[in-house]
Amino acid sequence: MNIVLYASTVAGRREGLTLSHLLKFVTGAPEEPLLGFTKQPSILFCEEILPTANTCICRLMLPLEVTTYDRFDLAFLSDYFGYD
């Protein structure tokens, strides 16, 4: 599974999920600020089961092994995941 492929799928074809959901999950903001983010978003691969994020430093933490995108959908659409 590939996060770039997943994001491109989200861009038009994942039911109820938008790129705004992904951005909010990682940064806490549903859209990019006019002057940009003070910190560059980054991705860290780890042993977690679900994607998590640290919104203070704009870091997305993704599981090393993913067999289905259902867990990504669950995390990115939930208000309870992502805010570290």
- Domain range for 54: 3-77
Q: What is the pLDDT of residues 27-81, one digit of tens each?
A: 888 888 899 888 888 889 888 888 888 888 889 898 888 777 788 888 888 766 5
- Domain holding 57: CATH number? 3.30.2410.10
What is the sign, positive or negative, of the torsion defined by CA atoms of 24, 36, 10, 84? negative
Burial code (b: 16+ CB inside 10 Å, e: under 16) for 10-49 equals: beeebeebebebbbbbbbeeeeeeeeeeeeeeeeeeeeee
pLDDT for position 68: 75
62: enclosing H helix or E strand: strand 59-63
Within a domain: 69: yes
CB 67 within 8 A of CB 50: no
Total-model pTM: 0.75
Look at residues 63, 74, 68 and name the one whose alpha carbon lies nearest to residue 17. 74
Q: How many domains does the chain have?
A: 1
Position 82 in a domain: no
Domain annotation covers residue 63: yes
Asked whether residue 37 is domain-assigned, the answer is yes
The active-site residue out of 56, 74, 78, 84 is: 56
Asked if residue 60 belongs to a domain, the reply is yes
Write down the pLDDT at residue 78. Answer: 78
Q: Is 46 a catalytic residue?
A: no
Whether residue 18 lies inside any domain: the answer is yes
Confidence of residue 22 (pLDDT cuts 50, 70, 90): confident
pLDDT of residue 20: 83
